[in-house]
């Protein structure tokens, strides 16, 4: 699968569907169907399941390409593709049941108020999970939950449910990324057999030895959403460049001929390129090291990925916001791309991937202090 080329080919359809996606609060049906047919909800699925199994640097570039057209589309592709990595931790028969059909898609949410009680053959699970991006196009949904064993530390398992056995709750009424359909679901005392409660990202339980799955979903989500942020900011900057022939009200020259604007534009371009280079260089270096050594990512590599992704998001947010401001009053109209892109970028900047304490984790590591963050 030449995913970057296919992503470029899909740009016209994504752009034509953007308004419908935003209004509906989920990907437009025609777009979702085409993305599913092209395998974009499973970009990190193993090859033995006929998945693309993209390498991490290519994955980041693909979601960045999509985000340059519509951030909601890119976000759903990033999220569902990350979820597909769980196939490397599943018994083969279950993995084939879930992902064997071409339309097999998994969406999950982060740990919330949930409990899981061990029962014969599995678990009795109750709880609510939100932020299930892409759940309206999924055939399976999941939710993580910490489980306790007598005399042992808690561990996290991901409980998997056929989508037609749960009731989705439409709660995604938000500022931006409206088209991700990141809604919620609840279960009460649902039985989940042991095989459908894997310890994802746990090396001892990994059944696929491929280098890709030595990356945890944590690292691929971080890098992927960093790519989404960069794609949005690049689009905002490009949108701004297309307006520079105008002469702002009361100004003596066009924006293009304004020396102060020229200076700032150069700085914004440098910041965005530098952030992108750091993210891609970092993820490429980790990929090369893991592929060559056939070993787990080191703590240093995991922290570096988190640092580069957090920096990409922060720089993209700042540059994108500055580009919106520089565009003046023309940017506020919904007939332009500016306002939707800005809302999407600001919403992305509120997600867990963009938290400032990720930089503290990196700082503690540099000082030789313990780092106990669950996000590295």
3-state SS class at 115: strand
Mean pLDDT of 251-279: 95
- 257 is written with which tokens? 């001929």
Mean pLDDT of 255-269: 95
On the question of pLDDT at 180 being above 70, the answer is yes
How many Å apart are CA 340 and CA 344, to the nearest integer?
6
Give dist(CA 295, CA 62) in Å, integer: 26
Question: What would the mean pLDDT of 36-61 be, rounded to a whole number?
Answer: 97
Q: Residue 81: its pLDDT value, please?
A: 98
Joined tokens for residue 333: 């109209």
- Kindly indicate the confidence band of residue 374, based on its pLDDT and cuts at 50, 70 and 90: confident
Cα 25 to its chain centre, rounded Å, is 17
Cα four-point dihedral sign 194, 195, 196, 201: positive
251 pLDDT higher than 80: no
**pLDDT of res. 247:** 77
Confidence category of residue 1, pLDDT binned at 50, 70, 90: confident
Contacts of 249 (CB under 8 A, 6+ apart): none
Tell me which H or E stretch contains 223: helix 217-241
Q: What residues form DSSP beta bridges with 160?
A: 142
Give residue for tokens 């809604």: 183
Give how far Cα 9 sits from Cα of 33, 52, 103, Å: 15, 17, 20
Which stretch of DSSP H or E encloses residue 191? strand 183-193
Lowest-confidence segment of 184-188, 284-288, 292-296 by average pLDDT:
292-296
For the cut 80, the answer to whether the pLDDT of residue 119 exceeds it is yes
Mean pLDDT of 293-318: 96
Question: Quick one: average pLDDT of 260-266?
Answer: 97
Asked if 312 contacts 279 with a C-beta cutoff of 8 angstroms, the reply is yes
What are 3-13's pLDDT values in tens digits? 999 999 999 99
Q: How many CB atoms lie within 10 A of CB 5?
A: 11
pLDDT digits (tens, 9 = 90+) for 135-155: 999 999 999 998 877 655 678
**Section 261-277 average pLDDT:** 98
**174 to each of 13, 265, 346, 353, how far by Cα in Å?**
24, 31, 11, 17
Task: Please report the pLDDT score of residue 336 as a whole number.
Answer: 82
User: What is the distance between the alpha carbons of residues 238 and 325, in angstroms, rounded to a whole number?
Assistant: 14
Say which residue the tokens 């057999």 belong to: 193
Q: How confident is the model at residue 110 (pLDDT cuts 50, 70, 90)?
A: confident
Average pLDDT (70-82) is 98
Distance CA 88, CA 216 (A): 11
What would the mean pLDDT of 18-22 be, rounded to a whole number?
96
Looking at residue 152, its pLDDT comes to 57
Q: Where do the domains of the chain lie, and which CATH numbers do they carry? A: 3-99 (1.10.540.10), 106-198 (2.40.110.10), 215-366 (1.20.140.10)
């Amino acid at each position: 699968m030449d995913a970057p080329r296919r992503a470029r080919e899909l740009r016209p359809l994504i752009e034509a569907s953007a308004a419908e996606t935003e209004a509906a609060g989920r990907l437009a049906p025609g777009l979702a169907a085409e993305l599913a047919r092209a395998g974009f909800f499973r970009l990190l699925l193993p090859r033995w399941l006929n998945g693309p199994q993209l390498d991490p640097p290519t994955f980041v570039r693909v979601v960045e390409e999509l985000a340059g057209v519509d951030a909601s589309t890119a976000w759903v592709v990033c999220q569902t593709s990350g979820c597909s990595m769980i196939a490397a931790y599943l018994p083969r028969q279950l993995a084939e049941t879930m992902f064997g059909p071409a339309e097999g898609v998994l969406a999950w949410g982060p740990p919330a108020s949930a409990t899981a009680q061990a029962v014969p053959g599995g678990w009795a699970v109750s709880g609510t999970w939100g932020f299930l991006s892409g759940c309206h196009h999924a055939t399976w949904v999941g939710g993580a939950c910490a489980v306790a064993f007598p005399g042992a530390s808690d561990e996290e398992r991901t409980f998997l449910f056929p989508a037609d056995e749960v009731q989705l709750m439409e709660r995604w009424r938000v500022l931006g990324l409206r088209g991700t359909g990141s809604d919620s679901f609840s279960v009460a005392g649902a039985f989940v057999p042991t095989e459908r409660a894997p310890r994802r990202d746990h090396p001892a339980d990994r059944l696929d030895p491929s280098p890709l799955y030595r990356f945890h979903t944590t690292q691929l989500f971080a890098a992927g959403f960093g790519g989404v942020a960069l794609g949005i900011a690049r689009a905002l900057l490009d949108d701004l460049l297309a307006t520079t022939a105008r002469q702002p009200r009361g100004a003596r020259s066009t924006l293009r001929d304004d020396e102060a604007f020229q200076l700032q534009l150069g700085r914004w371009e440098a910041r965005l390129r530098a952030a992108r280079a750091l993210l891609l260089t970092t993820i490429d270096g980790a990929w090369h090291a893991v592929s060559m050594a056939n070993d787990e990512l080191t703590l240093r590599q995991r922290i570096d990925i988190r640092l580069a992704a957090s920096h990409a998001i922060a720089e993209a947010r700042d540059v994108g916001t500055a580009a919106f401001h520089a565009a003046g009053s023309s940017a506020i109209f919904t007939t332009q791309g500016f306002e939707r892109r800005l809302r999407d970028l600001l919403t992305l900047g509120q997600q867990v991937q963009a938290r400032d304490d990720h930089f503290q984790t990196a700082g503690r590591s540099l000082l030789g202090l313990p780092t106990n963050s669950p996000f590295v």
